[in-house]
């Protein structure tokens, strides 16, 4: 599909080692052992398996009368298909005069849309959204503080898990950013700061708010939904979450159009405020659960607890194998010319993610199965 090979995407594709003109079609399959390096199929397996398990969890929970996970899973997927295609094909959507290609994914075992959309990217949206939402839900934040504060905490937890992945991808050639695109400015080492804030924290915050408002709070009260009600709520959640992604960073977006420095300052300020609020709330809520009577019922989710720990273990291994090239990098690039992320920031995200997972385990002994909606999976 050479007519969709914009010059920027073509350049990024070549630097990643594949040809835009020869990139598949609507769907393309490749030998997983013939990819750029061994980390690509490991990444695929980890994320896709996580998404499948999250979907199974959602179906099980739906049968028990709680549609929240299913709405979350498909709401995140709806968000993906609203947001991503215009970024891949700005000319086809009539926005090429305002939006140039921002990044290009490398080719993976399964790709869609002429090499633009790997299957694992489709999976990572519902997978990470489920991990973050369920961790916050297990700590009782939504029930104690409501939709907005709960959503802030989801954004914070999602950010920690996502940035572990985000700061490693460019070095291992999972994707490449366009360094000349003004929408990617300023960069935080190998990652655009707008991505660090908007796609790692603000979009899951927007999604979580919509999911809890349209489904979660009603399910907690025992309300049931028809199939049609779930469908329209899921579609609305995807649309409103997309809208929220544009609204939440508006101050930084406007400032960035005049000054990259000012835009970067406001992006960082938004993330810092979100992080301070969320960290305080999560710690206090964890303390509250620890001090609750032993017979108090708490929502639990064994699948997410254990798989989130497995995710962190896999990424600890991936980071460990990448460290030799990382430490030998010169001027922020490895000997292969690949940009490196920020190790200290990644370690901080690892610490937050690990603490969040530990928090869900340390209230496990207080959980009970007396209520169907609280049943452990």
pLDDT at 364: 58
pLDDT in tens, 176-227: 999 888 889 999 999 999 999 999 999 999 999 999 999 989 888 888 888 8
Q: What is the pTM of this model?
A: 0.93
Mean per-residue pLDDT over the chain, rounded:
90
Distance between CA atoms of 84 and 81, rounded to whole angstroms? 6
Rounded to an integer, the average pLDDT of 344-366 is 90
From residue 175, alpha-carbon distances to 191, 197, 339 in Å are 11, 18, 11
- For every residue of 14-54, DSSP letters joined together read HHHT--STT--SSEEE--GGGSSSTHHHHHHHHHHHHHHHH
pLDDT at 204: 95
Whether the predicted pLDDT of 371 surpasses 70: no
Give 229's contacts (C-beta < 8 A, 6+ positions apart). Answer: none
pLDDT at residue 100 in the model: 78
Domain boundaries, the chain: 38-80+119-374
**Residue closest to 303 by CA, chosen among 45, 34, 13, 54:** 54
Identify the helix (H) or strand (E) that includes residue 244.
helix 227-247
Higher pLDDT, 146 or 100: 146
pLDDT confidence bin for 318, thresholds 50/70/90:
very high
The confidence score (pLDDT) of residue 372 equals: 42
Strand order in the sheet with 27-29: 27-29, 110-112, 117-118
Q: Which of 9-23, 281-295, 323-337, 354-368 has the highest mean pLDDT?
A: 323-337
């Amino acid at each position: 599909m050479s007519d969709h090979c914009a010059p920027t995407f073509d350049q990024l594709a070549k630097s990643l080692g594949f040809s835009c003109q020869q990139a598949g079609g609507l769907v393309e399959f490749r030998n997983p052992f013939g990819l750029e390096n061994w980390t690509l199929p490991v990444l695929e397996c980890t994320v896709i398996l996580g998404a499948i398990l999250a979907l199974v969890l959602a179906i099980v929970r739906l049968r028990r009368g709680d549609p929240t996970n299913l709405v979350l899973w498909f709401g995140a997927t709806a968000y993906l298909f609203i947001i991503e295609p215009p970024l891949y094909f700005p000319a086809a959507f009539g926005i090429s005069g305002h939006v140039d290609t921002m990044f290009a994914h490398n080719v993976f075992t399964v790709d869609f849309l002429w090499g633009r959309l790997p299957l694992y990217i489709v999976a990572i949206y519902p997978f990470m959204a489920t991990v973050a939402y369920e961790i916050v839900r297990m700590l009782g934040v939504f029930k104690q503080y409501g939709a907005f504060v709960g959503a802030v905490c989801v954004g914070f937890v999602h950010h920690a898990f996502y940035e572990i992945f985000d700061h490693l991808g460019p070095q291992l050639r999972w994707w490449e950013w366009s360094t000349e695109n003004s929408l990617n400015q300023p960069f935080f080492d190998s990652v655009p700061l707008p991505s660090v804030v908007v796609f790692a924290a603000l979009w899951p915050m927007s999604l979580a708010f919509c999911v809890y408002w349209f489904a979660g709070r009603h399910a907690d009260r025992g309300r049931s939904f028809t199939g049609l009600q779930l469908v329209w709520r899921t579609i609305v959640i995807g649309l409103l979450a997309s809208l929220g992604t544009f609204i939440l960073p508006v101050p930084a977006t406007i400032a960035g159009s005049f000054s990259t420095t000012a835009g970067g300052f406001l992006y960082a300020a938004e993330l810092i405020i979100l992080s301070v609020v969320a960290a305080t709330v999560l710690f206090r809520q964890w303390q509250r659960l620890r001090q609750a009577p032993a017979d108090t019922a708490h929502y639990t989710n064994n699948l997410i607890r254990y798989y989130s720990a497995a995710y962190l273990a896999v990424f600890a291994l991936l980071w460990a194998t990448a460290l030799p090239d990382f430490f030998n990098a010169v001027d922020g690039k490895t000997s292969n010319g690949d940009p490196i992320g920020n190790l200290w920031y990644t370690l901080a995200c690892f610490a937050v993610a690990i603490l969040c997972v530990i928090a869900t385990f340390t209230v496990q002994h207080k959980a009970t199965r007396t209520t169907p909606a609280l049943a452990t999976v």
